[in-house]
Structure 1
Amino acid sequence: MALRKWLWRSMSSLSCDPLHVCVVGSGPAGFYTAEKMLKAHKAAEIDIIDRLPTPFGLVRSGVAPDHPETKIVINQFSRVASAARCSFFGNVSLGTSISLNELRNIYDVVVLAYGAESDRVLGVSGEELAGIYSAREFVWWYNGHPDYRNLSPDLKSTDTAIILGQGNVALDVARILLRPIAELATTDIANHALASLKESSIRKVLLVGRRGPVQAACTAKELREILGIKDLLVHIQETDLLKSPADEEELKNSRTQRRVYELLTKAATSQELHPTSTQRELHFVFFRRPESFLHDSSSNISGVRFEKTYLKEDDASGKQLAIGTGQFEDHKCGLVLKSIGYKSVPVDGLPFDNRRGMVPNIRGRVLRDSPDNAIPDQGLYVTGWLKRGPTGIIATNLYCAEETVVSITEDLKQGILTSTSSPNKRGREGLLQLLDSKNIRYVPFSGWEKIDLKEKSEGSLLNKPRAKITTWEELLKVANE
């Protein structure tokens, strides 16, 4: 709230000279940044570029199809994209269509908000086996992302799936695998995923975490939703719910963790004793970490070998870490989904911390190395996951974007950005000329509106909010009609 008041107070004192701004990435972080810039600088002209023909990033490809209320924010973002001083350029890929240096030569300000499109790896034996996917890949598959239209996970050859991780994404994936198909059929889940889930043989899902129920990374809302699935047997070992003094301290300091622990405790004490043969099962497995992946004669995943763990407080961080006991157990399965974290990827010309998977920055100002210390790289900013790492919910990006816009506004007021301005920085005019010279056919927001209209029209015939177009070819064809 304080950041918003500061922005409004600063508006009257800013220069009215044209300011050419490019935001790379059209997810929540990108759109919130564009919205705040339009309000903070009345002469700013904002261009949002995205490698996909469709805007909205993870709101379209990451939010679960059975969470339509979360996607309402698309209406707000659409108003931003339709503003007179804002333009959307889809099908423009940073690093392929256009380089970062080219963008910086055209724009006064470049804000990178392209998020995280890769995954962390476990680094354990057998991780490359068929039947092992990242949760991001699986989510993009059932949400109709054109890059993963042909993922085709085999859901028919096994009755058991193991999900590594116990955060919200892990719960989303488990819920999609376990939810009654009739409930999914009326969502905007991709048609190819719905068809595959209809034929799924998976009846048991294991959600596995290295630490205990006190440290489960999900929110109470997500946990309550999956525990409420009709005719679902939830299995939790009551011995796993025993708390240490360190656990008690963690619970005392976190309302979220207390609520999650209370829900897990209630689920453990109310579970059924005699499941039916057709009943679906959700097993919360704590204090286990994967040691290796097992395979059959065809090099397909057949199980996971886990090492049992215990918690030990780390003197440096004060956190409880999972320590291996040297005891192992095997769990059979035919599908593994790794929900262990997203990872951003660098582009040429961008300082990048590979260990943390983010761009070095101070309040959104990108830092470049110098012989003495890191100094801000004038005119270059970050927001969203590139800035803070892949954490938080959609609303987190609002405050993150506000902070970055405050930094831009401060730099404008102090004249720091004036040295980056030149007659060659023509913003949108320069971008259009560059794309034309490279024969890149971009998708404007009006092209997305054509896609949107067709998806909704075809979805209405199926009693769905939309029937997503899931191939690059068809998306571009509809956008350019």
Structure 2
Amino acid sequence: MSAKIAIIGSGPSGFYAADTFAKKLPNCQIDIIERLHTPFGLVRAGVAPDHQGTKNVTRQFERTMNNDNVRFVGNVEIGRDVSYQDLKDLYDIIFLAIGASVDRKMGITGEDLKGVYGSSAFVNWYNGHPDFVDLTPKLGPKGVAIIGNGNVAIDIVRVLAKSTEELEGSDLCQHAEEAIQAVDLRDYYMIGRRGAAQAAFTPSEANELGHLAQCHPVILNDDLTQKPQEDDLKAQKNKEKNMEILRDLNGTDRADKPKTLHMQFWAKPVEILGQDCVEGLRLERTALVDGKLQGTGETFDIEVSTIISAIGYETAPFDGLPMDGGIVKNNDGIVEDGVYVAGWCKHGPQGTIPTNRKESMEMAKLAIEQFNGDSGKKGPAGLDNLLAERNVTPVDFDNWKKIEAAEEAAARPGRVREKQVSF
């Protein structure tokens, strides 16, 4: 059966779906449509620049591109160059893998002050995403507060606290590295509404905090004796491992490390202080009351000049796409006849690359099961004609490989690449 398939988004979910379609429907034609010139989505713009091992998953994605029936169609934006209806007219199956890239708001006074950033925007800035290269975040003169205690919060701490030498082998963009190294930041705060036993970071991320050459972690407002209570066995073991790591960190000698990571548990932000720029953050202590998290009414202030909110993300929709709050409206992954969704745009920002792999493959298999046969739709050929009529020049995978080669050739000593940030 010759299905015409459009995958919207070239991150992990999109590529895992493409691989499944290519294997299960060898006669199909697959277009992976991406609004940027570059593929790989969150792997390129979201994974920390010092986590090159995680980024090696792109080698698998490149193998998918070796299939003759799979195309990368970059620099094509849904809603700008082609419409949602265009896609439904051209393809038998539409697979949405557009992720969740819009920062959720904290909803507190002072959130609009200069010096307040969402973690998606901030991470995209130091990872060289073209949309955020001009963010130029205000760093210093006082500390940085990161709201949230997941993996992204730890990533941001590492990137900000590491020395130039510690960033050896990374692909941190030059504009970001120069801005960070130009400021003598000494204090980092990682704020969690609940306790250490409920922290969302993984053991591997927590463990990295003990290996920062210049930054010493300090646990605040938690005695690390609470036992995690998770329904899932794997989650329970991870939380127990987290507690073990934090207890070890708490007993580590500071030595001569000049920087401090203040891991503040049981506190929530209630107000950002300042007139035009951030001057501080007001926090309210929290506690569990009858099993529910509540504020105690006791507040305290910390002096910071920068606040980065890492409390979650929402999907950015395009015209015509049905939405349910911050995600694509769907019924177990089905948006409408012939339209499917997977990953963070399906259920919100949950899970890692491996966990979303399974879901993406299962949704692709469901789409194959429900495919009714060749409808005669034009697919890739029709898209090419439409783009030509509208004077849109797409970027194919060969073009991307040229961009990649140029980035690697431009790398500074000790860096993997220097990302191209404008096209």
TM bin (shorter chain): over 0.9
* Partner in structure 2 of residue 125 of structure 1: 109
Shift of 1:324: 0.6
CA shift digits 1:177-213 (9 cap, x unpaired): 1112222254111110111122122111010000000
- Length, aligned pairs only: 421
Letter in 2 for 1:294: L
Structure 2 residue runs without a partner (length 5+) = none
Structure 1 residue 469 corresponds to structure 2 residue 420:
yes
Q: Which residue of 2 aligns with 1:395?
A: 354
Q: Secondary structure at the match of 2:353?
A: coil
Counterpart residue number, 2:69: 85
TM-score w.r.t. the length of structure 1 is 0.84
2:301 corresponds to 1:350: no
Question: Aligned Cα RMSD in Å?
Answer: 1.8
Go from structure 1 to structure 2 and tell me whether the alpha carbon gap of 1:240 and 1:252 turns closer, same or farther (over 3 Å shift). Answer: farther
Partner-residue secondary structure (3-state), 1:221: helix
Letter in 2 for 1:87: R
- What letter matches 1:73 in structure 2? V
Task: Show CA shifts across 1:1-38 (max 9, x none).
Answer: xxxxxxxxxxxxxxxx3110000000000000000000
Deviation at 1:271, TM superposition (A): 4.4
- Secondary structure class of the residue paired with 2:388: helix
Letter in 2 for 1:332: E
**Match 1:436 to one of 377, 380, 388:** 388
Do the aligned partners of residues 248 and 139 (structure 1) sit closer, same or farther apart at CA in structure 2, a change above 3 Å counting? closer
Q: 1:266 to 1:462 in 2, by over 3 A?
A: closer
Distance 1:403 1:252, change over 3 A: closer
Encode CA deviations 1:410-436: one digit per residue, 9 max, x unaligned: 212xx3xx5xx644x100000001111
* Aligned-partner residue type, residue 409 of structure 1: I
* Distance 1:340-1:110 versus aligned 2 partners, 3 A rule: same
Aligned to 1:378: 337
Find the aligned partners of 1:440 and 1:300 in 2 and give their Cα distance. 41
State the secondary structure of the residue aligned to 1:48: strand
| 1:308 correspondence with 2:285 | yes
What does residue 327 of structure 1 align with? 298
Q: What residue in structure 2 maps to residue 219 of structure 1?
A: 202
* TM-score normalised by L of structure 2: 0.95
Letter in 1 for 2:264: V
Whether the 8 Å CA contact 1:162–1:206 is kept in 2: the answer is yes
**Which of the two has higher C-alpha Rg?**
1
Contact 1:363 1:404 in 2 (8 A): no
From the superposition, tell whether residues 19 and 248 of structure 1 become closer, same or farther in structure 2 (CA, over 3 Å): closer
Alignment counterpart, residue 33 of structure 2, candidates 49, 59, 83: 49
Deviation at 1:362, TM superposition (A): 3.6
Are the equivalent residues in 1 in contact too, given 2:195–2:222 (CA < 8 A)? no
Q: Which residue identity lines up with residue 343 of structure 1 in the other structure? A: E
Residue 142 of structure 1 deviates from its aligned partner by 0.8
1:287 to 266, 270, 285: 266
1:305 partner letter: R
- Runs of 5+ unmatched residues, structure 1: 1-16, 314-319, 367-376, 474-481
Among 235, 246, 249, the alignment partner of 1:267 is 249
- Equivalences for residues 32-431 of structure 1 within 5 A: 32-155=16-139, 157-237=140-220, 239-243=222-226, 247=227, 249-250=229-230, 254-272=236-254, 276=256, 279-296=258-275, 299-313=276-290, 320-354=291-325, 357-366=326-335, 377-412=336-371, 415=372, 418=373, 422-423=375-376, 425-431=377-383
2:17 and 2:302 map into 1 onto residues whose CA distance is 46
Distance 1:191 1:406 in 2: 42
Percent identity over the alignment?
37
Q: Deviations 1:370-419 (Å, cap 9, x if unpaired)?
A: xxxxxxx211111111122111111122101111012112212xx3xx5x
Q: Read off the aligned partner of 1:164 and give its amino acid letter.
A: I
**Cα distance in 2 between the residues matched to 1:437 and 1:469:** 28
Structure 1 distance, partners of 2:156, 2:7, is 30
* SS of residue paired to 2:262: strand
Whether contact under 8 Å (1:24, 1:113) holds in the other structure is: yes
2:402 aligns to what? 450
